[in-house]
Amino acid sequence: MVEKVLKGSPKYYLWLLFLLGIIGYAFVVYVFQLMYGLEQTGLTRNTSWGFYIAQFTYLVGVAAAAVMLVLPATFHHYHPYHRVIVFAEFLAIGAVIMCMLFIVVDMGQPQRVLNVILHPMPNSVMFWDATVLCGYLILNAIIGWTSLEHESRHVEVPKWIKVLVVVSIFWAFSIHTVTGFLYAGLPGRHYWLTAIMAARFLASAFCAGPALLLLGLLLVKRLSGFDPGKKVVKSLSITIAYAMGLNMFFYCLELFTSFYSGIPGHADPIVFLFCGHEGLNVWVTGWMWAAVVFAFVSIFFLAIPKFRANMKILPWALGMLIIATWIDKGLGLLIGGFAPTPYETYEVYTPTFWEISVSLGVFAVGALVVSILWKIALEMKKEGGEPFALAD
Amino acid sequence: MKASRRYFLKVAGLSTFAMAAGAAKADAAYEGYSEGLKAKRWAMVIDTRRFQKPEDMLPIIEACHKVHNVPSIKGPKEIKWIWDDTFEHAFANDPNPMLPEDVEERRFFLLCNHCTNPSCVRVCPPGATYKTEGGLVAIDYHRCVGCRFCMAACPYGSRSFNFKDPRPFVKEINPAYPTRMRGVVEKCTFCAERLEKGLMPACVEASNGAIMFGDLNDPNSIVRRVLAKNFSMRRKPDLGTDPGVYYII
């Protein structure tokens, strides 16, 4: 199976080479961070988490999104998804690997990372997060690999895999719930201390992740001719629309509690994110408003069947949705979470060139993993005689 | 062959004996100082009436930072164990626009509160931050992975992170206390290392009686006697952390 990686067009090789180039560059930058410490980042005493942890959070959501295909296919026997499920599982593998790398590059003492396993503290949500992420990686690797192998050889998938699939469905919900708990259990961080955090995380994950997957599948169709099928595209975009609707609804619930109660602790971070603070250059406000616009435009196109079914509009709507959810989680969540400081003062975190470089490298690793795994999946499907073009 | 087997047994026997003796010796070495101060719940009382100006506070801050090799790094990545701020910032959740003038202008010491329910200890993934006997919140600098979850969890902003190697920024290294390395979190320890030797915390010693320290569980301790006669406040008690630093207003 692995040898399939080596067979490809010059374009495929150039793409891999390009990713390796970025990874190499980011690695050099990371070596500097290792040598000089997190001094290189825009983090401060009051804003102790930033771009790295934000990307980690976003990608846990991308990983969890596979469940939006696995669940209907398993519990509701929705067969069209079987054709593309392996792509969702392999995307999850790439996402979890990126999550782990983002955690490691964020650590002050990365060589001690095993302390989390050698001295496990069940009190710590981060210990549980590490555990569920590792478990999810293993689950997806086993399920994806085994089912792909069996399907391509036209053999019935073994029973124990079906058990693991059911486990993975619940597991997917757990990974993003636990990630929500990382934030939602901290006293004194107003923006995070909200019971709806995990639910909001799940809703944003279940729109952003499938959107990323669908964009990827549409790209694969153009590159390799492998058609995911109209039914898959249709039901996935409906799922995305519902999840995005929920995600936006949940955010509005936050707005209500914050502004109707009038409690400064609830309202301050949101005011800071959208309107800034006296005289401070809060660069993120522009991004937050852009996210609002993108969110409404994307939900408009996704919610109306006529636009959703239009293949010229759909990719744009998906793209805007990904940007909107990324700004919410990848920028706003952390910057809003640390505003105000414990002394009710304000400061603005800005990721540095170093952080963005290292993050690009981690994204490139993820893209490389997903490219290779998807390549294998496509080749296996070809070998198994699965038709690439579909009639309906 | 025979001789070598006997030799082997001899060595093995001797090693076992030495190991047992060593273990016994090691056990003995872990016994605390006999003169060490003991308490069920250490607590600090700061008589803020005696600190009006930053100049009143500087010697105390310096005493702490000097004895603990706290590097002097300025700016948003600074490291500090004890510092001073206004009422508005120190008691951020008790906003009061009608404070008496002297309180409004007064400076307040900020430091780790050594909470009874510390959220930093709860979140630490490898257990590098932990509670000791006497209710102190301590950090194992060698186990800390530098994830900074504790900094996000501390509602008082008591923790500092070594963004770079701190040693070049320590003016005069005190060999009696360890320096830290880059990538780990540090904070006030309530001078656990001094209590062990029967000494009061460095800030208490430098304060001419304006900072008091004692066992909160002992009704006869200085902190209990002072708190019984004076109105005091704590920072963010509504969060349920049960902070151990009291401020007489």
Among A85, A94, A99, CA closest to A133: A99
Q: Is the peptide bond before A264 cis (omega within 30 degrees of 0)?
A: no
CA dist list (Å): B227 to A80, B38, B87, B216: 72, 20, 20, 10
Return d(Cα B70, Cα B84) in angstroms, integer: 16
Q: What is the pLDDT of residues A104-159, one digit of tens each?
A: 999 999 999 999 999 999 999 999 999 999 999 999 999 999 999 998 889 999 99
> Cβ separation of B124 and A124 shorter than 8 Å?
yes
Task: Say yes or no: B239 contacts chain A, CB-CB below 8 A.
Answer: yes
In a domain, B29, yes or no: no
> Cβ separation of A188 and B128 shorter than 8 Å?
no
Does residue B28 carry a pLDDT above 70? no
In a domain, B3, yes or no: no
> Cβ separation of A342 and B92 shorter than 8 Å?
yes
What is the CATH classification number for the domain harbouring B52?
A: 3.30.70.20
Nearest CB among A108, A121, A265 relative to B183 is that of A108
The reported pLDDT for the residue numbered B21 is 56
Does residue B26 carry a pLDDT above 90? no
Q: Taking every pair of C-alpha atoms in chain A, what is the biggest distance, in angstroms?
A: 66
| Whether the Cβ atoms of residue A172 and residue A146 lie closer than 8 Å to each other | no
Does residue A277 carry a pLDDT above 60? yes
Return d(Cα A136, Cα A171) in angstroms, integer: 7
In this structure, the number of other CB atoms found within 10 A of the CB of residue B85 comes to: 16
Residues of chain B contacting residue A262, judged by C-beta atoms under 8 Å apart: none
Q: What is the ipTM of this complex?
A: 0.92
Q: How many domains does chain B have?
A: 1
Q: What is the pLDDT of residues A67-87, one digit of tens each?
A: 999 999 999 999 999 999 999
Domain housing B52: 42-248
Task: Say yes or no: A261 contacts chain B, CB-CB below 8 A.
Answer: no
Task: Say yes or no: B112 contacts chain A, CB-CB below 8 A.
Answer: no
Task: Say yes or no: B18 contacts chain A, CB-CB below 8 A.
Answer: no
Q: What is the CA radius of gyration of chain B?
A: 22
Task: Say yes or no: B140 contacts chain A, CB-CB below 8 A.
Answer: no
Does residue A45 carry a pLDDT above 80? yes
In a domain, B11, yes or no: no
A390 or A21, higher pLDDT = A21
Among residues of chain A, what percentage have pLDDT more than 70? 99
Is the whole-model pTM more than 0.90?
yes
Residue to substitute from A123, A124, A354, interface B, most B β-carbons within 10 A: A124
Q: What is the pLDDT of residues A358-374, one digit of tens each?
A: 999 999 999 999 999 99
For residue B34, what pLDDT band results from cuts at 50, 70 and 90? confident
For residue B17, what pLDDT band results from cuts at 50, 70 and 90? low
Among residues of chain B, what percentage have pLDDT more than 90? 82
Return d(Cα B96, Cα B98) in angstroms, integer: 5
The reported pLDDT for the residue numbered B29 is 53
Nearest CB among B78, B124, B149 relative to A45 is that of B78
| Whether the Cβ atoms of residue B43 and residue B223 lie closer than 8 Å to each other | yes
- Three-state DSSP at A227 gives coil
In a domain, B217, yes or no: yes
Residue B34 burial by Cβ neighbours in a 10 Å radius (0-12, 13-18, 19+):
exposed
In a domain, B207, yes or no: yes
C-alpha distance from A366 to closest chain B C-alpha (Å): 22
Q: What is the DSSP string of B22-79?
A: HHHHHHHHTSPPTT----SSEEEEEEGGG--SHHHHHHHHHHHHHHTT-----STT--
Q: What is the pLDDT of residues B159-206, one digit of tens each?
A: 999 999 999 999 999 999 999 999 999 999 999 999 999 999 999 999
> Cβ separation of B152 and A115 shorter than 8 Å?
no
The reported pLDDT for the residue numbered A239 is 97
Torsion of CA B131, B133, B138, B141, to 10 degrees: -100
Q: What residue of A is the nearest CA neighbor of B187?
A: A45
In a domain, B31, yes or no: no
The reported pLDDT for the residue numbered B53 is 82
In a domain, B35, yes or no: no
In a domain, B219, yes or no: yes
Interface of B with A in 73-92 (CB under 8 A): 76-79, 85, 88-90, 92
Task: Say yes or no: B185 contacts chain A, CB-CB below 8 A.
Answer: yes
